[in-house]
Structure 1
């Protein structure tokens, strides 16, 4: 009996490993492009190198869960808040307001304080806290 050791050249190329590599590269490309698109671009103010020597009045308005508003820790109504902020602005035109809204407070109360500050043309900022602090 004779064994034939006949080696024929391959007529076709196995492209399965090449397609596997192409699919992996496609998945990596899709993941990288969607990860870069999801972020928001925010232009943050740059700090100045010189410390500010000006001292201006700062009022802290807290909106509590029940709708109660506190001005520097003292409960006030919306009318009292408006008059207190107007008096403070008359004393110091560059005074500002920091608004602290409790997470359980109704958003409408926070918007009321923001509208009041806009009406009186008082600079304001929203106080936030990081999760876990």
Structure 2
């Protein structure tokens, strides 16, 4: 009998990829969770009201005004001229363009007024204001 038992010291015919696939699936799940968690938009402290309705519709454009006065269109920072140009472009594609204005409770009224003035100039009549519902 030889010193080698049958099957020992022979090269592998195939590689076991199961641990590699387990790692790939875990990385995929982590990537999905991190991506969805980071795409929530700009956080603001919305003013509170007693009644709130869901104003979001398909193709609704969201304008956000932070407490510092920064303006965002769909989570992208814009200045007033860029905001007007992009809204005009969207209005051309969709004449009944709905817009949702999400302003921080501490935002300067002047900024909110300027955004509403742009909407009025572009004849955007479907404008919703986002607020938080007061408990009680």
**TM class by shorter-chain length?**
0.5 to 0.7
Hey, what's the Cα distance between the residues in 1 that align with 2:133 and 2:116?
A: 21
User: Is 1:130 equivalent to 2:133 in the alignment?
Assistant: yes
After superposition, residues 62-81 of structure 1 pair within 5 angstroms as 62-81=64-83
Higher-Rg structure is: 1
Match of 2:90 in 1: 88
| Equivalent of residue 118 in structure 1, options 94, 117, 120 | 120
The CA RMSD over aligned residues, in Å, is 1.8
Match of 2:20 in 1: none
- Residue-by-residue CA offset, 1:43-70 (whole Å, 9 max, x unaligned): xxxxxxxxxxxx7521000011111001
Gaps of 5+ in 1: 1-54
Question: Quick one: higher RCO (CA 8 Å, sep 6+), 1 or 2?
Answer: 2
Aligned residues: 79
Q: Secondary structure at the match of 1:60?
A: strand
Gaps of 5+ in 2: 1-56
Q: Secondary structure at the match of 1:86?
A: helix
Q: Secondary structure at the match of 2:114?
A: helix
Hey, what's the Cα distance between the residues in 2 that align with 1:94 and 1:77?
A: 23
User: Is 1:102 equivalent to 2:104 in the alignment?
Assistant: yes
Q: TM-score normalized by structure 2?
A: 0.54
Hey, what's the Cα distance between the residues in 2 that align with 1:69 and 1:89?
A: 19
After superposition, residues 4-23 of structure 1 pair within 5 angstroms as none
Q: TM-score normalized by structure 1?
A: 0.55
TM-superposed deviation, 1:108? 0.9
Match of 1:27 in 2: none
Hey, what's the Cα distance between the residues in 1 that align with 2:80 and 2:134?
A: 30
Q: 1:56·1:94 contact (CA, 8 Å) conserved in 2?
A: no
